[in-house]
């Protein structure tokens, strides 16, 4: 039986690599001869132990994660990290936030409930259409940490490289662009990422944390909110979301088979360029939200001349199997999320559709 699949441009939960879905289907009823589904297994079983080991090892290989970093698989989404980070690391000090979009704003609001927050940069007045240069940052040398969002999934603005913050620990929300390109882990004290954008299904949040950060944690926290507990128990303190971690292990294995992150990054740049080229060549029919230096490779966001036309665009695209292109409800317009798993053919179809739509309606 052949199954009809669409091109799904959803921002998250998002499209997964077809080979991963097929592998999961293949071993769904009996995982590696166990006679059980991964969904039915004790998290203390050898199989789940191996799945966690594989997921961690694959991430370590893909990202060249040094030994002095822990890789954790937690629950509560990136949203819980917004709170856990200040709870664990503020230590009575103030924190700096570089604010480049909606997710950063949520992170700031949550941190404010825990202590002092300064904005080292605020892109709100520019309608969050760009990221700052490091020279524009107003940093506090004594801050407990600097937090930024490498890719603002809603606005479609992405840091081309990490900001320079001196000796202050750098903390990053990479929910929508972790494992989309190589990064220098050594520049970070903590990276977190909800899996459901670029790495797997909802339910698991990956945290990469440098070992020395654990010594800053106060003793008053509930165990589930204390990174030391999860590092000590290797993410098996409570019952973890085993199936989500299993899919992450398959996605990361697939990426290694694709040739690693340098190659994946090149593909991602080419895919994004296909869309930005149509937009730039449209003589103003399509207008991109982000400024050229801040354009996201993961979420391309743009407008049409009217909301009427945007509605028509989304409907007509859907009829051609190009689905989930509506922009986030808070900003409107169009958003095409083109994570690692979106094949180049999907982006090519969309770019051809855009050109045709302009010819018909422009």
Ligand X SMILES: *Cc1c(COP(=O)(O)O)cnc(C)c1O
Residues that bind ligand X (CB under 6 A): 12, 77-79, 103, 149, 153, 173, 175-176, 194, 197
CA separation, residue 49 to residues 5, 29, 226 (Å):
33, 19, 22
**β-sheet bridge partners, residue 172:** 148, 191
Min dist. Cβ of residue 60 to ligand X (A): 22
Q: Is residue 103 among the annotated active site residues?
A: yes
Q: Which is nearer to ligand X, 101 or 282 (CB)?
A: 101
Q: Which is nearer to ligand X, 140 or 162 (CB)?
A: 162
Measure the CA–CA gap between 106 and 132, rounded to whole angstroms: 19
CA separation, residue 214 to residues 26, 68, 123, 276 (Å):
40, 11, 31, 42
Q: Which is nearer to ligand X, 244 or 282 (CB)?
A: 244
Min dist. Cβ of residue 15 to ligand X (A): 15
Other CB atoms within 10 A of residue 6 CB: 13
Min dist. Cβ of residue 102 to ligand X (A): 8
Measure the CA–CA gap between 315 and 293, rounded to whole angstroms: 31
Q: Which is nearer to ligand X, 83 or 316 (CB)?
A: 83
Q: Which is nearer to ligand X, 230 or 358 (CB)?
A: 230
Q: Report the side by side order of strands in the sheet with 170-173.
A: 69-74, 205-210, 190-194, 170-173, 146-149, 94-99, 116-122
Nearest residue to 182 (alpha-carbon basis) of 65, 273, 103: 65
183, two tokens: 């990064």
Q: Write down the catalytic residue from 103, 121, 254, 302.
A: 103
Q: Which is nearer to ligand X, 89 or 103 (CB)?
A: 103
Nearest residue to 73 (alpha-carbon basis) of 208, 253, 188, 254: 208
Measure the CA–CA gap between 89 and 115, rounded to whole angstroms: 10
Q: Which is nearer to ligand X, 296 or 358 (CB)?
A: 296
Min dist. Cβ of residue 341 to ligand X (A): 15
Min dist. Cβ of residue 104 to ligand X (A): 8
User: Which residues touch 172 (CB under 8 Å, ≥6 apart)?
Assistant: 147, 148, 149, 150, 162, 188, 190, 191, 192
Nearest residue to ligand X, scored by beta-carbon proximity? 77
Measure the CA–CA gap between 210 and 214, rounded to whole angstroms: 8
Q: Is residue 109 among the annotated active site residues?
A: no
Min dist. Cβ of residue 172 to ligand X (A): 10
Q: Write down the catalytic residue from 105, 121, 177, 197.
A: 197
Q: Is residue 133 among the annotated active site residues?
A: no
Q: Is the Cβ–Cβ distance between 350 and 336 less than 8 Å? A: yes
User: Which residues touch 86 (CB under 8 Å, ≥6 apart)?
Assistant: 95, 110, 111, 114, 115, 117
Q: Is the Cβ–Cβ distance between 142 and 94 less than 8 Å? A: yes
CA atoms within 13 A on the CB side of 126: 17
Q: Report the side by side order of strands in the sheet with 334-337.
A: 287-288, 299-303, 334-337
Min dist. Cβ of residue 1 to ligand X (A): 33
Q: Write down the catalytic residue from 173, 253, 271, 326.
A: 173
Question: What residues are labeled active site?
Answer: 103, 173, 197
């Amino acid at each position: 039986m052949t199954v009809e699949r669409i091109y799904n441009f959803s921002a998250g939960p998002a499209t997964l690599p077809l080979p991963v879905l097929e592998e999961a289907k293949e071993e769904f009823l009996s995982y590696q001869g166990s006679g059980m589904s991964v969904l039915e297994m004790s998290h203390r079983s050898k199989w789940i132990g191996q799945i966690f080991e594989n997921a961690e090892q694959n991430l370590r290989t893909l990202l060249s994660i040094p030994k002095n970093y822990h890789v954790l698989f937690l629950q509560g989404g990136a949203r819980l990290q917004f709170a856990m980070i200040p709870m664990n690391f503020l230590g009575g000090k103030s924190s700096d936030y570089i604010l480049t979009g909606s997710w950063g704003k949520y992170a700031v609001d949550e941190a404010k409930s825990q202590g002092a927050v300064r904005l080292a940069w605020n892109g709100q007045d520019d309608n969050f259409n760009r990221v700052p240069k490091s020279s524009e940052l107003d940093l506090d040398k004594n801050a407990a940490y600097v937090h930024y969002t490498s890719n603002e999934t809603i606005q479609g603005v992405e840091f081309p490289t990490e900001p320079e913050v001196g000796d202050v620990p750098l903390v990053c929300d990479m929910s929508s662009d972790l494992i989309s390109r190589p990064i220098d882990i050594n520049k970070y004290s903590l990276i977190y990422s909800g899996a459901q954008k670029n790495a797997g299904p909802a339910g698991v949040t990956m945290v990469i944390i440098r070992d020395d950060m654990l010594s800053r944690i106060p003793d008053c926290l509930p165990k589930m909110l204390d990174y030391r507990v999860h590092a000590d128990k290797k993410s098996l303190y409570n019952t973890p979301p085993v199936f989500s971690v299993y899919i992450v292990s398959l996605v990361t294995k697939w990426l290694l088979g694709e040739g690693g992150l340098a190659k994946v990054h090149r593909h991602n740049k080419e895919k994004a360029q296909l869309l930005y080229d149509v937009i730039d060549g449209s003589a103003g029919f399509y207008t991109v939200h982000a400024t050229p230096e801040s354009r996201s490779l993961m979420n391309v966001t743009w407008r049409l001349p009217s909301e009427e036309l945007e509605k028509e665009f989304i409907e007509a695209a859907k009829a051609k199997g190009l689905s989930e292109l509506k922009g986030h409800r808070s900003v409107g317009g169009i958003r095409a999320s083109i994570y690692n798993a979106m094949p180049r053919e999907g982006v090519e179809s969309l770019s051809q559709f855009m050109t045709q739509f302009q010819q018909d309606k422009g």
